[in-house]
Amino acid sequence: MPKQKPTSGVFPVIMAGGSGTRFWPLSRTAKPKQFLPLATARPLIVETLARLKGLAPPKHAYVVCGAVHAPMVKKALPSLPKQNVIVEPQARNTAPAIALATAHVAHVDPQGVVIVIPSDQHVADVAAFQASLDEAIAVARGGHIVTLGIHPTRPETGYGYIQVGEPMSGNTRRVSRFAEKPDRPTAEQYLVSGEYLWNAGLFVFRADVMLEAFKKHMPELSKALEVVRGALGTKKEAATIAREFPKMPATSIDYGVAEKAENIAVVPSNCGWSDVGSFNALSEVRPLDANGNVSLGGPNFLIDSAGCVVVGQGKPIAVVGMKDVVVVDAGDAMLVMPKDKSQDVRKVVEALKAKKLTQYL
């Protein structure tokens, strides 16, 4: 579809507040997933910004993160204006973080189009991704809150889904409903039906449209947000954010706004998206050897082994006669587990906490 002439700017907002445990021992409290070079040789957050190249001027990009990670964000993204690193006073799920970023964008461009994008995902086909975003931006300019929906390729139970509704313009569809993470049979029905897309946590909207949506669907958040907006650019900004942010309900943007809004639309996309949700996912996003192994940071020796994910730190790891296992050396800690148990790495984190081995968390 042809690009509309922009009437206001486009502002990527990269969400980098995550602090998951699914990549332990590589990911730590001080260095969560988005700062790791998981899908390519560059950290996920660096790829995320690079993926938006051409959609918006570099100075329009924002990153929302926790205070402890702000220096790392600035270092990883040297093209980002330092004042565009928005620090969440505390982690309160996505709605408050998006609210804070939207306020910043509205401050400089009230009708600016915001692209909310997680910092820790991977996209194989960037051209297809940008084409989907171009369409989403155009629809957003018309007053819709637009989400990207990923064509599912397997009956995944780890994602939320979006049921598509009536066609709008181009590829864009109305949203019939947002569906929670399904059980396996439901996920299989979703896949077969062709009516469901993965919810990638990617939203495109005009700042003024989202502010209005907060007012309507999250009035408590909106009230605090309006106080923040009144203080932006003043000496009181930091103190006001510190005071008001904790008043915002710790709700996801999906639950707080997207599921309730009438003006919601979805652009289906087939862009080789992955949420890089666990070590298992490295088999999707990384090149495989002839036996389906991923081997990073070698010299690794994969002998009589297939389907494995082996991540080293420069010292040899020998994996002999193994199938579908994850072997990770982080230098100061190691992990070995079956690939399909990748989610269980949280049990290690719990055990480390229980033993107060906080230096490994």
- Closer to a second copy by CB, 58 or 298: give it: 298
What are 204's strand-pairing partners? 115, 146
SS3 state at 235: coil
Cβ atoms within 10 Å of 79's Cβ, excluding its own: 10
Taking CB under 8 A as the rule, does residue 233 contact a second copy? Answer: no
- Closer to a second copy by CB, 220 or 332: give it: 332
224 φ/ψ angles, rounded to the nearest 5 degrees: -65, -40
Taking CB under 8 A as the rule, does residue 277 contact a second copy? Answer: no
Taking CB under 8 A as the rule, does residue 238 contact a second copy? Answer: no
Taking CB under 8 A as the rule, does residue 207 contact a second copy? Answer: no
Footprint of a second copy on 25-54 (CB under 8 A)? 25
Taking CB under 8 A as the rule, does residue 322 contact a second copy? Answer: yes
Q: How far is CA 203 from CA 95, 146, 191, 198, 206, in A?
A: 12, 6, 22, 13, 10
Taking CB under 8 A as the rule, does residue 320 contact a second copy? Answer: yes
Query: Applying CB under 8 A, which of residues 220, 291, 336, 353 lies at the interface with a second copy?
Result: 336
- Closer to a second copy by CB, 102 or 295: give it: 295
Q: How far apart are CA 132 and CA 11, in angstroms?
A: 16
| Site stretch for a second copy (CB under 8 A), options 3-11, 59-67, 107-115, 319-327 | 319-327
Q: Is the peptide bond prior to 25 cis by the omega test (within 30 degrees of 0)? A: yes
130 φ/ψ angles, rounded to the nearest 5 degrees: -65, -35
SS3 state at 15: strand
Taking CB under 8 A as the rule, does residue 160 contact a second copy? Answer: no
| Site stretch for a second copy (CB under 8 A), options 126-134, 186-194, 243-251, 326-334 | 326-334
- Closer to a second copy by CB, 262 or 340: give it: 340
Footprint of a second copy on 298-317 (CB under 8 A)? 299, 301, 303-304, 312, 315-317
State the number of binding residues for a second copy (CB under 8 A). Answer: 35
Tell me the CB-side half-sphere exposure of residue 3, using CA atoms within 13 A.
Answer: 8
Q: Report yes or no: 199 and 253 within 8 Å, Cβ to Cβ.
A: no
Taking CB under 8 A as the rule, does residue 338 contact a second copy? Answer: yes
Residue 56 CA, distance from chain mean position: 18
Taking CB under 8 A as the rule, does residue 115 contact a second copy? Answer: no
Taking CB under 8 A as the rule, does residue 227 contact a second copy? Answer: no
Q: Report yes or no: 51 and 156 within 8 Å, Cβ to Cβ.
A: no
Nearest to 349 by CA among 164, 339, 340, 359: 359
Positions touching a second copy (CB under 8 A) are 24-25, 299, 301, 303-304, 312, 315-322, 325, 327, 329, 332-338, 341, 344-345, 347-348, 351-352, 355, 357, 360
